[in-house]
């Protein structure tokens, strides 16, 4: 791999990953869609809106031009919100070198197609024959950027590519494990956001730690059920990209999806919450995508269904919890 890495998406996670690689002395170009914001980051060497106090490496290049960002880059890290990934890749495709390594750091299911990000990348960059991997696991950007120890999974079906990217991405405090079950790693990262909404709602209602633990555990069962139906391995969901990411997102104070759930449980409407948000909570759109995907596959997703009803049908969260608790009794 040559030294140039292109990172698409100057949110908290994209900025963090770009900064990590720049500190390892790779040539890294971080792209953001807002020219004024990128100019401000260039002048201050800080993403003060999303990562205040984190100094950006002097080696990190900042750009709002897609062509100059990806030209001659052997590795592209995609960290734009998942519902916008296809449009960004379609714009950048004419400038992408052939057979690039694409690491997807976006987590979700595309709403219009009900496809995971791997399929979106393959369709948007198909003529360039991309080599695909997905990065997922318990990793709040703020903590990674502050140098706190973090372990994640790299889902990749190509062993040699996985080992190469593992070396590129790993640092002394950011440990990357490889996993050949790309499907499982990818789906775990998407589904956990919906479960974080559910646990946030329960916490917002004041239902206590028993309810939270029950939702996390049943959410894991739901995650594995859908993941296996789509070709993932059940044991993957016992790892970093499954239970690890699920626990962090459902309990951590930095979780955007949990914070949205807390506010829903506290009586605010989705419209009120979204009007004041500076960053995307992927679980909102993913809940709708999973609702439709579960119906298509005939996979039972009771927690997801109740979250979807709260978000899109204005269902009373207390009624949703009551219906979950009163479902037909059955073996675990």
Domain spanning 4-180, CATH class:
alpha beta
Model pTM greater than 0.85?
Answer: yes
Domain 183-325 CATH class label: mainly alpha
Is residue 200 within 8 Å of 192, Cβ to Cβ? no
What is the Cα–Cα distance from 310 to 222, expressed in whole angstroms? Answer: 18
Q: Known catalytic residue: 115?
A: no
CA dihedral 2, 54, 199, 210 (to 10 degrees): 110
Six-digit token pair at 310? 């709260």
Structure confidence at residue 2 (pLDDT): 55
Cα(247)–Cα(268) distance, integer angstroms = 24
Q: Kindly report which listed range (59-73, 189-203, 270-284) carries the lowest average pLDDT score.
A: 270-284
Give the pLDDT band of residue 242 (cuts 50, 70, 90).
very high
Tell me which of 107, 128, 192, 285 is the catalytic residue.
Answer: 192
104-154 pLDDT tens trace: 999 999 999 999 999 999 999 999 999 999 999 999 999 999 999 999 999
pLDDT value at 278 more than 80: no
Q: Where are the domains of the chain?
A: 4-180, 183-325
Bridge partners of 161, per DSSP, are: none
What are the Cα distances from residue 291, in Å, to 9, 106, 150, 256, 311? Answer: 27, 20, 31, 20, 11
Mean pLDDT over 78-92 rounds to 96
The average confidence (pLDDT) of the chain is 96
């Amino acid at each position: 791999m040559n030294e140039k890495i292109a990172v698409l998406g100057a949110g908290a996670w994209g900025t963090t990953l770009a900064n990590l690689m720049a500190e390892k002395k790779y040539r890294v170009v971080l792209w953001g869609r807002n020219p004024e914001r990128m100019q401000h980051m260039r002048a201050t060497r800080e993403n003060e809106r999303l990562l205040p106090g984190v100094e950006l490496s002097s080696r990190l290049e900042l750009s709002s031009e897609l062509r100059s960002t990806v030209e001659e880059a052997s590795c592209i890290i995609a960290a734009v919100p998942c519902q916008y990934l296809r449009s960004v890749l379609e714009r950048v495709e004419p400038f992408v070198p052939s057979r690039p390594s694409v690491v997807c750091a976006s987590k979700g299911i595309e709403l219009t197609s009900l496809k995971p990000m791997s399929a979106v990348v393959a369709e948007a960059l198909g003529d360039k024959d991309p080599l695909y991997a997905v990065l997922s696991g318990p990793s709040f950007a703020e903590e990674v950027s502050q140098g706190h120890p973090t372990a994640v999974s790299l889902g990749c079906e190509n062993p040699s590519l996985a080992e190469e990217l593992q070396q590129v991405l790993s640092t002394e405090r950011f440990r990357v494990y490889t996993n050949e079950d790309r499907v499982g790693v990818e789906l775990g990262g998407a589904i956990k956001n919906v479960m974080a909404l559910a646990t946030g709602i329960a916490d917002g209602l004041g239902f206590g730690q028993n309810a939270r633990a029950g939702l996390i555990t049943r959410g894991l069962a739901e995650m594995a059920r859908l993941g296996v139906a789509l070709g993932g391995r059940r044991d993957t969901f016992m790892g970093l990209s499954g239970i690890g990411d699920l626990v962090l997102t459902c309990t951590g104070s930095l979780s955007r999806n949990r914070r949205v759930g807390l506010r829903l449980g506290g009586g605010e409407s989705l419209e009120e919450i979204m009007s004041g948000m500076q960053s995307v909570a992927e679980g909102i759109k993913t809940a709708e995508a999973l609702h439709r995907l579960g119906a298509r596959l005939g996979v039972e997703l009771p927690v997801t269904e109740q979250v979807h009803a709260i978000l899109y049908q204005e269902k009373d969260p207390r009624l949703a919890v009551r219906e979950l608790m009163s479902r037909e009794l059955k073996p675990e």
